[in-house]
Amino acid sequence: MVATLAVVSLPARAAFVITGNAADQTTFINMINGYSTGGAWSLNMVNQLVWTANGGAVDFFASRLNTFNGDNLNNRTVDVKQNYPGVLVGAFGPLAGQPNGTQLLDLGDIQKFSLTTAAQPLLDLQPSVMIHELGEVYQDGGAANFNNAHVFGGITEENSQLAALGSRGQRQTPGDQFTALGGNQWQLKIPWRDVPNNKPGWEVITGTTTAGMFNITQIAPGLAETGATYDGSRDDIAIDSIYFQPVPEPRNAGMLFGLGLLIFGCGWSVRQRSNRLPAAA
């Protein structure tokens, strides 16, 4: 008997598969190319993310995404839509109908953020929001451990990107607060810090949902806790404005005690909700 050794040439397998319709895939590729220098991103025939270097200097965004993308690992799928129903920026598994290792990405939400520190010197920028979402799904790799991926993948990468771009802001964790304001209004407050000025504050993101009969629970568990409704028209949440709100300095011991209780309360609330809240920013 003669043993035959077949040498199989496997195609290069990238970490990220980008799913969605062709127009949304193109928008995603154009966005990440806009954040990258030293080469260009594209999708191959099976929707894997591919980097083609041009010999120029590779910036932080492109460097990090190359690290994420070069590991030849499975379970890193990013499903992109210009407007993703029920998704605020990104929604990370496990969610109903979504395989572990998938990040749902709302490109329109990310486009609401500024591109450069010249335009926005303190708060999130498009590259920092995008690298959060991609770093999150990279870190997780299908483990479906939201807290671990969000903090050690998402926020760590986000802050590194902000620093690389010369932002003076850094995201703090934990303590996000998502609040329905009545009607179709909502507010997301993310603890923030103006580092050179040594000032705590919030990145405050306000927005609306489309009013209607359909409860958003059925699309993205967690947002429903706000009482927000969804009419099933495939519109999603729109970010209206993003601004920095300083935290007032406590003036006496009584106020300091009150602030301590508030922080404790928020931490509990976030832990209770974090598994069900889509990853936001």
Interacting residue ranges for Zn ion, rule: CB under 5 A: 136, 150, 154, 279
Indicate the residue among 24 and 140 with the shorter CB distance to Zn ion: 140
Report d(CA 179, CA 80) in Å as an integer: 26
Indicate the residue among 58 and 131 with the shorter CB distance to Zn ion: 131
Indicate the residue among 165 and 279 with the shorter CB distance to Zn ion: 279
Report d(CA 207, CA 184) in Å as an integer: 8
CA distances from 278 to 95, 136, 261 (A): 9, 12, 26
CB of residue 206 to Zn ion, shortest distance in Å: 19
CB of residue 274 to Zn ion, shortest distance in Å: 9
CB of residue 158 to Zn ion, shortest distance in Å: 8
CB of residue 132 to Zn ion, shortest distance in Å: 6
Indicate the residue among 85 and 135 with the shorter CB distance to Zn ion: 135
CB of residue 250 to Zn ion, shortest distance in Å: 30
Exposure of 83 in the CB half-sphere (CA atoms within 13 A): 10
CB of residue 211 to Zn ion, shortest distance in Å: 27
Indicate the residue among 228 and 279 with the shorter CB distance to Zn ion: 279
CB of residue 279 to Zn ion, shortest distance in Å: 3
Report d(CA 177, CA 13) in Å as an integer: 38
Residue nearest Zn ion by beta-carbon distance: 279
Indicate the residue among 136 and 236 with the shorter CB distance to Zn ion: 136
Indicate the residue among 174 and 212 with the shorter CB distance to Zn ion: 174
CB of residue 64 to Zn ion, shortest distance in Å: 15
Indicate the residue among 162 and 279 with the shorter CB distance to Zn ion: 279
Query: CB–CB of 217/247 below 8 Å?
Result: no
